[in-house]
Structure formats: structure tokens, C-alpha cells
């Protein structure tokens, strides 16, 4: 049977935590696959904020959503935001801060789009920090990393190190990787810890 792909595993982790009516972010809209997945999972009463710095990615995502909506699917309202994910906290409305159930990153470049538009460690790490702060307790953040292309390995290493360094009081983190394939994409994820543990004593 084999283990599921990293993309499928990311979606599973999200599906288990993003219920109907939930709020979610796609940090790298790209071709819109994850945006559509989030919009389906959050359903009509949910809301999705999808970011990309490339106009072509925003257009592809818009077209994918329109096609699904056209065939009668019940989708969350999606805000397509043509800006960098490092500015996430500015674009996600204040009342949603601390309320997000899921945030998905799929790093690297968009196949078939502008060459050279690629995620880079500095803004990726800033976006991860912002994302962690926006999550609800029990919410999940996933990131698919691409160690197999130029620059991708440094970014993957930086993200994996960031995940490993998060205090256990703030989140639990995991790694899903095909260990015989060191150059293949892999997944890291975190689940925001429930806050208020200290106040549970006597």
C-alpha cells in the first residue's frame, strides 16, 4: 500500500483539525490545490485567507475555486491576497487572531510560472512566526519543504530547525519524511498547545 505522500499527509493533519465553519490560511496559494482543499474543509460558514506574491498564482487559484463553485461545491469564502505571507498578521483581521484552525505552506517555486519567484528563508521564517501566533489552541500549521533544488535545502534546514526549537509549552512539532529519499520533499507540522495550563492548578 505504501505511506501517503507528504501532500496527502499535510491535508490529513489539517482535515482532522479544521472543522466546518473554521478559519484557515493558505500561505502559498500557488496553483490553488490547498486553497480549494481548505475551502472545502471549512465549508460555507468558514473563511480562508490565501496569500501569494505572484499574480499568476492568484489567477490560477481564483480559476480553480470558480470551477469548483460552478459545479455546485459548498466552499468557504476565500480572500485571495496578493502579498507576501510574512505580512499575514496585517491581512488576517484582528478578530481572527488566535482563532485560526489551520495554516498551510507549500514552499519552493510554482511549476510552470515565473522562474525565480521562490520562497526564501527570511520571509518564510517571519511568516511561520506570524502563523504560530495566529493559530487557535489545537490549530495546526503544516509546511512542505523541498530540499532537492538550489536554495531549497537551506530553506528546508532553516524551517526544520525553527520547528525543532519551538518550546514544548507553545506547540508540539512533527516531521514526516521518506528516510531513504533525502532529496524528496518532506513535511513538518506543529499543533498549537492549549493555553492556560498554568491556571488549571488548584
Residue list 102-121, contact with ligand SAH (CB under 6 A): 106, 108-111, 117, 119
Residue 85 found at the interface with ligand SAH (CB under 6 A): yes
**Size of interface with ligand SAH, in residues (CB under 6 A):** 19
Closest to 171 (Cα-Cα) out of 125, 131, 119: 131
Q: CA torsion sign, 46 to 23 to 32 to 180?
A: negative
Q: Residue 82 and residue 99: Cα distance in Å, rounded?
A: 22
Residue list 129-188, contact with ligand SAH (CB under 6 A): 146
**Which grid cell is 161?**
530547525
Q: Which is nearer to ligand SAH, 76 or 124 (CB)?
A: 124
Give CA torsion, residues 169, 103, 142, 127, to 10 deg: -80
Query: Binding ligand SAH by CB under 6 A: which of 59, 64, 68, 84?
Result: 84
Residues that bind ligand SAH (CB under 6 A): 28, 30, 51-54, 57, 84-86, 106, 108-111, 117, 119, 123, 146
Amino acid at each position: 500500500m505504501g505511506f501517503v505522500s507528504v501532500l496527502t499527509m499535510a491535508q490529513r493533519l489539517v482535515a482532522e483539525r479544521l472543522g466546518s465553519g473554521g478559519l484557515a490560511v493558505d500561505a502559498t496559494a500557488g496553483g490553488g490545490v490547498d486553497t480549494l482543499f481548505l475551502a472545502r474543509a471549512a465549508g460555507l460558514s468558514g473563511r480562508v485567507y490565501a496569500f501569494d506574491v505572484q499574480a499568476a498564482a492568484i489567477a490560477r487559484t481564483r480559476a480553480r475555486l470558480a470551477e469548483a463553485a460552478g459545479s455546485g461545491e459548498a466552499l468557504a469564502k476565500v480572500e485571495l491576497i496578493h502579498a507576501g505571507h510574512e505580512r499575514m498578521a496585517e491581512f488576517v483581521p484582528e478578530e481572527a487572531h488566535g482563532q485560526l484552525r489551520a495554516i498551510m505552506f507549500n514552499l519552493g517555486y510554482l511549476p510552470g510560472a515565473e522562474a525565480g519567484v521562490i520562497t526564501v528563508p527570511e520571509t518564510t521564517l517571519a511568516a511561520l512566526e506570524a502563523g504560530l501566533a495566529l493559530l487557535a489552541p489545537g490549530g495546526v500549521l503544516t509546511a512542505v519543504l523541498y530540499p532537492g533544488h538550489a536554495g531549497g535545502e537551506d530553506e528546508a534546514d532553516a524551517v526544520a530547525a525553527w520547528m525543532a526549537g519551538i518550546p514544548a509549552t507553545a506547540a508540539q512539532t512533527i516531521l514526516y519524511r521518506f528516510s531513504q529519499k533525502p532529496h524528496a520533499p518532506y513535511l513538518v507540522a506543529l499543533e498549537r498547545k492549549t493555553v492556560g495550563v498554568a491556571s488549571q492548578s488548584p
